[in-house]
Amino acid sequence: MTIRQALAVLLPLVPTVVVLTQNASFSSKTEAVRVDVLVTDKGRPLLGLGPSDFEVRDNGVQQQVDLVNFDEIPLNVTLALDMSDSIAGERLGRLRAAAGMLLAGLKPKDQAALITLSHIVRLGTGLTTDLESVRTALDRAQAVGETALVDGIYAGLMVGESDVGRSLLIVFSDGVDTSSWLSPNGVLDIAKRSDVVVYAVSTQSPLKPAFLRDLTSFTGGQLFGVEKTANLEAIFLGVLNEFRYRYLLSYMPRGVAPGGWHRLAVRVKRNATVKARPGYLAGS
């Protein structure tokens, strides 16, 4: 099942309280598998690697790797920000400041999009290089209502898949879903089929954010748990900088079944630490 097919299946399940204020076009998936990979040595990005430095195994079968360097493809950065009433006040101000700092760190060819989620999921802007329009939508957003976290992340994945480029989804929430209609497992399956890498920041809560933990793990991102929002700017900028230094590997799967869950193992032929998604879901 492609992202387009998944959209057709899941979209009718979302009630009218989920509002997209702009239309988005969704590109179909190719047969090539793309994997974002972070390679570090003692915590610092390891640069200058080529295709021969990587080994990728798909369900145990070694694949022929094509490599696209991290500096060749613009970024598509989607912000999915909790705007429920629990974010009102000082938290909202710090969230806006952190998002604004991230936008300032984008390059001219990078795109950004904004999704705000309360009991209503709204697309403030689709992917655009007009960052001022994203800032305007961010300034207009108000914190009110409950939290449709799962529905909002689904929308973020769809926006991330709507254009070519390397897609990063940054989620901020308290991690507690109170009003979504889509199921967490259904949206996790969408994430397993997607090229979007998800990083999430969750404020501490009595309820562990299991959905965010699984989501970031399956996409090769990371979950940050914070007690206070004072350091959001540093976290957002750190995520952006880390993502820029990730390599984009691609290959055409050979010697493996076309469908089901595919386990991925990515390594480099030197002493280094590798972070990548653990696999992907293919077929119907």
Per DSSP bridges, beta strands 166-173 and 75-82 are parallel
CATH number for 3-28+73-244 (one of 3.40.470.10, 3.40.50.410, 3.90.1150.10, 3.40.50.300): it is 3.40.50.410
Contact predicate 193/6, CB 8 Å: yes
Pairing between strand 44-45 and 33-41?
A: antiparallel
Please say if the pLDDT value at position 204 is more than 80: no
Q: Read off the pLDDT of each residue in 114-138 and give the average, rounded to a whole number.
A: 95
**Is pLDDT at 221 greater than 50 in this prediction?**
yes
Closest CA to 56 of 246, 274, 222: 274
Q: Which range, of 10-19, 169-178, 188-197, 257-266, averages the lowest pLDDT?
A: 10-19
pLDDT at 165 over 70: yes
Q: What is the mean pLDDT of residues 241-247?
A: 93
Does the pLDDT of residue 199 top 50, yes or no? yes
CB 180 within 8 A of CB 149: yes
Q: Does an H or E element contain 275, and which?
A: strand 273-275
Is residue 3 predicted with pLDDT exceeding 70? no
pLDDT for 7 equals 42
| 254/272 Cα distance (integer angstroms) | 27
Instruction: Tell me what the pLDDT averaged over the chain comes to.
Output: 86
Report how far residue 4's alpha carbon sits from residue 26's, in angstroms, rounded to the nearest whole number. Answer: 7
Q: Where in the chain is the domain with CATH 3.40.50.410?
A: 3-28+73-244
**Higher pLDDT residue, 237 or 66?**
237
- % of the chain surpassing 70 pLDDT: 87
The pLDDT value given to residue 70: 77
178 Cβ partners below 8 Å, 6+ apart? 84, 119, 146, 147, 148
